[in-house]
Structure 1
Amino acid sequence: MHGVSGRSDAVLDTAAPASRTMLVLLVAMSGLAPVTLYMLVPALPVLAGDFGRDIAIAQMTVSLYMVGLACSQILMGPLSDRFGRRPVLLAGFCLMIAASLGCLFAATLPQLIAARFFQAVGGATGMVVSRAIIRDLYPRERVGAMISLVIAALMIGQMISPLAGGLLEHAFGWRAIFYAVTAAAILTVCAIAFYLPETRRARDPGSAAGFRADARSLLSSRSFVGYMLCQVLASSLIFTFAGAGPYVVVTQMGRSTVEYGAWFATSGLAYLVGNLCCVRYAPHHALDRLIWFGLALQLAGAVLNLVWGVTGLNQLPSWLFITHMLVMFGNAFVMSNSAAGAISVRPQAAGTASGTMGFLQMGFGSLCSQFAAWLGGHFATPVPLNIAILALSLACASTMLFLVPRRSVMATEALIEQAEEETGLM
């Protein structure tokens, strides 16, 4: 049995023939919030000019948006475990619609910043609940592949969203971006209402202790803590490199911002290809084996980058980014499969697991990005960045080595979990 406590056979029967529809829904739900983040970035200078405020104030439409993404996930995940996936998704995206309308009619920059925060809170519901839905519908060995498939499709949207935002702003003004986001959110709500089955029934108030019990159970599991930290540390590699990259390439290497953008796109391409390969090979290999394969590539790329930095070869963008592509290719295997492991430890608390993981990912990632920007701006060589990437790669591997139990122990935990689920269905 691979299901979740409270999941009916009707859900499986409904979801099976509509796998493509479900995939499109999962991509839309998980992707709307991050795409909305990136769409506004090209318009930030225009925002500052229109409202007569400093660009640093306009930047808060991005920074507080990320805070909203982090805060929402720790809240919406447990709520989806408690009340079901559909009602929480519908409520979250309705909040996003209302906040998007607030952005559309904002008369001052503070009003826009506040509306953007609530836009993120509502939109992040899709990010956290989509992972829980994947775990509801698919067995543990297929979760990593499905997450990779969603990420691969999402990556395409994220890569073109700044261009789409720039084109909308140039042709119709920055408010056109929010017209597009509002329309997309309305379509998503309609799709959820008509096509998404409930994959998790609301808990019986008399039999559920709620978030604290779920959190206590998850945090007492070495498997969950290990997988979660592995995923969080793997994602921090992306935040760290992105935070320092502009300073390293533009300031230290004296290259143009256009050249930096072109080189940075290679990292996204490697990550996309890694996810597609994970989709291809995940059904044929154990989840932990795929994680270790990715960790080996991460470590190899990080070590090579440090070697190039110490020998001085890293002063050329080609050496830095081609090696970093190896890191990002392996990172795709680590992130999707460690996320699958984390939300599979206690399937009936998949929402809580997903929310906790997403909250830590955004929170720790923002700190890494800020620290990396300091490294890039205060040193004349990429070596400090190389050391930071290697340290994070080693820490990521350590979580799997020292925290995640061996297969025999995990098999015993899985049998206990299955027995608990079957008891709950009786």
Structure 2
Amino acid sequence: MHGVVGRQDALANANVAAPRVMLLLLVAMTGVAPISLYMLVPALPLLATSFASDISIAQMTVSLYMVGIACSQILMGPLSDRFGRRPVLLAGLTLMVVASLACVFAESLPQLIVARFFQAFGGATGMVVSRAIIRDLYRRERISSMISLVIAVMMIAQMLSPLTGGLIETAFGWRAVFYVITAGSILVTIAIALALPETRRVRPKTGGGFRGDVGSLLTSRAFIGYVLCQVLASQIIFTFAGGGPYIVVTHMGRTGAEYGAWFATTGFAYLIGNLFCVRYSPRYQLEKLIWFGLALQLFGSFLNLVWGLSGINQVPSWLFGTQMIVMFANAFVMSNSAAGAISVRPEAAGTASGAMGFLQMGVGALLSQFGAWLGGHFTTPAPLNAAVFALSLACASTMVFIIPRRNVVVSEELIEQAEEEGGIV
């Protein structure tokens, strides 16, 4: 086993750039789409005014952007398995550059909305391909720590992007935001073209192509279980984010700025959780870290539900204090279950990553609306707390009833190692 691991690491080190350069490339390709999403948010009211339109129409530059991210992942993942990570990534980022330029010169809101969709469609290629590249380069025990490290670094930039977008819009107007996005996407594309080699593994001759990949993944209990675990964990974020503003601003009578500050605490907890995951993932089995996250996630969401039913969390400190526990634990669940999902069939890592990303964003759009409905139609946080607890419980159930025990997973790893010995790079 140690010989195989050493062989894989040696191959990885020979084929890719320095670790710091690779980390920066992974962060850049992962973050270009979400950062572009949040940079525009502060300019939405000005967009509505500039085009003499309703704010709900301007909001479509955000909602259809998320649809573009979802559609991109389900398509670009399998394409990266078929044609390679590098060409698909460069094609997607080139599309983002062209769409960003179209946003700059948009003369109507519908034109801007369409351009934003294609901007997301191209930019999201980096989100799905980055996970596949991590799977290409690192053994199973290191994948979750690398995913967490990329997320942690990206989140710092993502948390600053609304502030950056707001400052640019205030000083130079909303079109200047797209000039910056265009310049950033060009820089990322050039960096990928110059520094990123092809990392896709050589496929077995009997792999069966896309249909074989999909068939093998859909018949794998491990894949289905890990994907459901990751997707359900992510829905906690979408649901709480959808209902939180209504509860804090409408029912608690606080300002939008205060809500933003409190919500930032949950993002900070998620960031810290990812940093802890980076530290401990190489030391412990993937399944143990998922169980730790699930237990802590259940504890935090149950505590929040108790506060909601008793009326204690009618102030933001109680509501967000326990939600921080949930988000800290959520980082362990999401990164490690994602690592498990893309490790089931390494040569189909792009397809697995795409399916996971598509479900995460697609279901997230629905549950975000559901969370908003819960927050807007009830005068207490308890229904939203109950929804978060139910998602935590469902997430834990996938680990109990669907994901095979460790001995089955070990057998999959042995098969993978045997493939590596046979020449798969």
Report TM bin, short chain.
over 0.9
Counterpart of 1:328?
327
Residue 150 of structure 1 and its aligned partner are, at CA, apart by: 0.3
Quick one: which amino acid aligns to residue 373 of structure 1? A
Shift of the 98–208 alpha-carbon distance from structure 1 to 2, 3 Å rule, reads farther
Instruction: Check whether the contact 1:11–1:197 (CA below 8 A) recurs between aligned residues.
Output: no
Q: Which residue of 1 aligns with 2:78?
A: 78
Structure 1 residue identity aligned to 2:139: P
Contact 1:305-1:324 within 8 A present in 2 as well: yes
- Specify the code of the residue in structure 2 equivalent to 1:89: L
Q: Give me the whole-angstrom Cα distance separating, in 1, the residues matched to 2:35 and 2:399.
A: 31
| TM-fit CA distance, 1:382 | 0.5
Q: Is the 8 A contact 1:82 1:203 kept in 2?
A: no
CA contact (8 A) 2:136 2:201 kept: no
**1:255, CA displacement in angstroms?**
1.1
Query: CA offsets per residue over residues 7-55 of structure 1, 9 Å max, x none?
Result: 996553133x600000000000000000000000110111111111111
Deviation at 1:258, TM superposition (A): 1.3
Give the gaps of 5 or more residues in structure 2.
Answer: none
- Aligned mates of 1:62, 1:425 — CA distance in 2: 41
For 1:173 and 1:142, locate their aligned partners in 2 and report how far apart those are by CA, in whole Å: 44
> Which structure 2 residues correspond to residues 33-182 of structure 1 after superposition, within 5 A?
33-182=33-182
Q: Distance in 1 between matches of 2:313 and 2:218?
A: 41
| TM-score, normalisation: structure 1 | 0.96
Question: Structure 1 residue 69: deviation in Å?
Answer: 0.1
Q: Cα offset for 1:130?
A: 0.2
Contact 1:250 1:257 in 2 (8 A): yes
The aligned amino acid for 2:133 is I
CA gap of 1:352–1:137, structure 2 versus 1, over 3 A, is: same
What letter corresponds to residue 196 of structure 1 in structure 2?
L
SS of residue in 1 equivalent to 2:80? helix
3-state SS of paired residue (1:254): coil
Find the counterpart in structure 2 of residue 268 from structure 1: 267
Q: TM-score, normalised by structure 2?
A: 0.96
| Residue identity opposite 2:239 in structure 1 | T
Deviations 1:72-131 (A, max 9, x none): 000000000001110001000000000001101111111100000000000000000000
C-alpha contact 1:43 1:174 (8 A) present in aligned 2: yes
SS in 1 for 2:122: helix
CA distance in 1, matches of 2:13, 2:99: 34
Match of 1:23 in 2: 23
Name the SS for the 2:282 alignment partner: helix
- Would the aligned equivalents of 2:296 and 2:329 in 1 still touch at CA under 8 Å? yes
Q: Is the 8 A contact 1:83 1:201 kept in 2?
A: no
Deviation (angstroms), 1:202:
6.9
Deviations 1:337-375 (A, max 9, x none): 100010011111000000000000001111110001000
Question: How many angstroms apart in 1 are the aligned matches of 2:279 and 2:379?
Answer: 41
| Contact 2:243 2:384 (C-alpha < 8 Å) held by counterparts | yes
User: How far 1:178 moved relative to its partner?
Assistant: 0.7
Amino acid at match of 1:27: V
Structure-2 residue corresponding to 1:256: 255
* Counterpart Cα distance in 2 of 1:209 and 1:70: 25
Structure 2 residue matching 1:283: 3-state secondary structure: coil
Aligned-partner Cα distance in 1 for 2:207–2:245: 49
User: Which structure 1 segments of 5+ residues have no match?
Assistant: none
> In structure 1, how many angstroms separate the alpha carbons of the residues matched to 2:9 and 2:380?
57
> Is this contact kept in 1: 2:236–2:391, CA < 8 A?
yes
Aligned to 2:220: 221
Are the equivalent residues in 1 in contact too, given 2:201–2:424 (CA < 8 A)? no
Relative distance call for 1:349 and 1:326 in structure 2 (3 A) is: same
Contact 2:9 2:138 in 1 (8 A): no
Take 1:196 and 1:356, find their aligned partners in 2: how far apart are those partners? 24
Q: Offset of 1:275 from its aligned partner?
A: 0.5
CA distance in structure 1 between the aligned counterparts of 2:359 and 2:424, rounded to whole angstroms: 32
- In the alignment, is the contact (CA less than 8 A) between 1:84 and 1:202 conserved in 2? no
Partners of 1:11 and 1:198 within 8 A in 2: no
Partner residue of 1:296?
A: 295
Q: 1:285 to 1:84 in 2, by over 3 A?
A: same
Q: Secondary structure in 2 aligned to 1:113?
A: helix
* CA distance in 2: counterparts of 1:326 and 1:9, whole angstroms: 39
**Aligned residue number for residue 312 of structure 1:** 311
Displacement of 1:423: 4.6
> What is the CA distance between 1:256 and its match in structure 2?
1.2
Partner of 2:389 in structure 1?
390
**Where does residue 15 of structure 2 map in the other structure?**
14
Distance in 1, Cα, partners of 2:419 & 2:402: 24
Confirm or deny: 8 A CA contact 1:82 1:202 kept in the other structure.
Answer: no
Give how far 1:424 is off: 6.5
RMSD (Å), alpha carbons: 1.8
What is the distance in 2 between the residues matched to 1:215 and 1:242?
Answer: 32
Q: Letter of the aligned partner of 1:274 in structure 2?
A: G
Aligned to 1:401: 400
Partner of 1:284: helix, strand, or coil? coil
> Secondary structure of the equivalent of 2:253?
coil
**Amino acid of the structure 1 residue aligned with 2:259:** Y
For residues 200-211 of structure 1, the aligned pairs below 5 Å read 200=200, 208-211=207-210
